[in-house]
Amino acid sequence: MLGVLAIALGIAGLLIPRTPQPLSYHQFADQRSWLGISNAGDVLSNILFAVFGLAGLAYLCGQSSHAQFVDAREKWLYLLVFAGLLLTALGSSYYHLAPDNERLVWDRLPMTLVFMSLVAAMIAERISVRTGLLLLPLLIAVGIASVLQWYGSELRGTGICGSTLQCKSTPCLFCWWRCSFRRDTLTAPTWRSLSAYM
């Protein structure tokens, strides 16, 4: 059922007319300054991305993380996820200081590293580690290209906002595709929560 829903969302993304992103997207509710920081609430909230990024990297670099992976090569995928979170903290802070489309590029680029590394990790768990690692560079390249394509479309005034449905449908397929090995206590709640969020 969820697979059908994900496919339907992907098709809907292809059919929805492309529209430019409204400039009101950058008008956030809390625009207060604090200690000379513009949009302080939005900027400082990115500290949490940095905290979780650093915490994840510290955990993965420790000895206790080894037992969590059937194949040690998988760790590289999650290292990129948490490195991406750390970069997201920087890029999102830069964007929220003075929100506009140009700065939004630097907000979205590190997010693609997080998202595409997660997709590669899901492929590694559900298909094979080798496949996930081989597809990782391609997935990251596609993610970067999608951000640049969006920015180019905004400069042309056409926009591609409808394609976000396709992006959100992708994880749904993997979240409900059973792992090739049993590790439900670690991953099932995480991926199902991600699916619900999408």
Q: What dihedral angle (degrees, nearest 10) is formed by the CA atoms of 84, 90, 96, 98? A: -130
Domain ranges of the chain: 31-197
Contacts of 100 (CB under 8 A, 6+ apart): 26
pLDDT along the chain (198 residues), means of 10: 59 66 73 80 87 90 78 87 93 88 89 90 85 91 87 77 51 56 49 50
Total-model pTM: 0.73
Amino acid identity for residue 191 in this structure: W
At residue 37, the 3 state secondary structure works out as: strand
